[in-house]
Amino acid sequence: MLALLEHCVSELGGSYVMEDTDSMAIVATEEGATIACRGGPFEMQNGLSAIRALSFPQVDEISERFRRLSPYRDKSRSILKIEKDNYDPESGEQRQIFGFSISAKRYACFIPDADGNPVLLQKGLNNHENRWSEHGLGHLRFFFDFESEDRDWIRLFWLNIIRRELGKPTPSLGFEHLPAVGRVTITSPKVMRSLAKLNLGKSKANRLKTFDYLLSTHIAALGHPLKIDPERFHLVARYELNPERWVRMLWTDQYTGKQYRITTEGFHGGRNLARVKTYGDVLREYEFHPGSKSADSQGTPSGKQTIGLLQRRHIRVGQIIYIGKESNRVEEAEAGTIHSAQAVYTEYPDPRRNEWETKVLPALRRFPIRVLVRLTNKSAAMLRRTLAGQSRPRARNRILLQSVLRRIGAL
Q: 106-119 burial, b if ≥16 CB within 10 A, otherwise e?
A: bbbbbbeeeeeebe
Residues 128 and 189 in one domain: no
Single-letter code of the amino acid located at 184? V
CA 395, 400, 406 angle in degrees (round to 5)? 125
- Please check whether residue 155 lies inside any domain of the structure: no
| Residue bearing the bigger pLDDT, 282 or 209 | 282
- Please check whether residue 78 lies inside any domain of the structure: yes
DSSP 360: I
Q: Are 40 and 51 in contact (CB under 8 A)?
A: yes
Residue 177 has pLDDT above 70, yes or no: yes
42-67 per-position pLDDT tens digit:
999 999 999 999 999 999 999 999 99
270-320 per-position pLDDT tens digit:
989 999 999 999 999 999 988 888 999 889 999 998 999 999 898 887 777
Residues 84 and 193 in one domain: no
Q: What is the Cα–Cα distance from 345 to 342, expressed in whole angstroms?
A: 5
- Please check whether residue 252 lies inside any domain of the structure: yes
197 conformational bin, left if phi > 0, alpha if psi -120 to 50, beta if neither: alpha
Residues 108 and 215 in one domain: no
pTM, to two decimals: 0.78
Residues 197 and 116 in one domain: no
Domain limit, last residue, from 234, 257, 278: 278
- Please check whether residue 68 lies inside any domain of the structure: yes
Estimate the crossing angle of helix 56-67 against helix 2-11, to 10 degrees: 140
Local confidence band at 186 (pLDDT 50, 70, 90 cut-offs) = confident
- Please check whether residue 297 lies inside any domain of the structure: no
DSSP 126: T
| Strand partners of residue 50 | 36, 42
Q: What was the pLDDT predicted at 133?
A: 92
Q: What is the Cα–Cα distance from 229 to 201, expressed in whole angstroms?
A: 30
375-393 per-position pLDDT tens digit:
999 999 999 999 998 888 8
Domain limit, last residue, from 238, 259, 278: 278
Q: What was the pLDDT predicted at 338?
A: 59
Domain limit, last residue, from 260, 278, 296: 278
Residues 194 and 128 in one domain: no
Estimate the crossing angle of helix 369-376 against helix 380-387, to 10 degrees: 120
* Helix/strand/coil percentages in the chain, nearest 5: 30, 20, 50
- Please check whether residue 33 lies inside any domain of the structure: yes
Residues 267 and 369 in one domain: no
Residues 204 and 114 in one domain: no
Residue 132 has pLDDT above 80, yes or no: yes
| Strand partners of residue 103 | 106
Q: What was the pLDDT predicted at 371?
A: 92
Comparing CA positions, the residue from 355, 397, 394, 392 lying closest to residue 376 is: 397
Secondary structure string (H, E, C) spanning 178-206: CECEEEEECCCHHHHHHCHHHHCCCCHHH
State the residue range of the domain holding 192.
181-278
Mean of the pLDDT values across residues 332-340? 58
- Please check whether residue 326 lies inside any domain of the structure: no
Residues 128 and 185 in one domain: no
Tell me the C-alpha to C-alpha distance, in Å, between residue 120 and each of 56, 110, 149.
Answer: 21, 4, 20
Residues 189 and 87 in one domain: no
Tell me the C-alpha to C-alpha distance, in Å, between residue 190 and each of 285, 331, 340.
Answer: 30, 16, 16
Single-letter code of the amino acid located at 336? G
Alpha helices in 22-151 (DSSP H): 56-67
Q: What was the pLDDT predicted at 24?
A: 93
Q: What is the Cα–Cα distance from 385 to 372, expressed in whole angstroms?
A: 13
Residues 7 and 125 in one domain: yes
Number of domains making up the chain = 3
Residues 360 and 257 in one domain: no
Single-letter code of the amino acid located at 198? L
Q: Are 234 and 337 in contact (CB under 8 A)?
A: yes
Residues 234 and 123 in one domain: no
| Strand partners of residue 235 | 253
Residue 119 parent element (H or E): strand 118-120
Q: What was the pLDDT predicted at 128?
A: 93
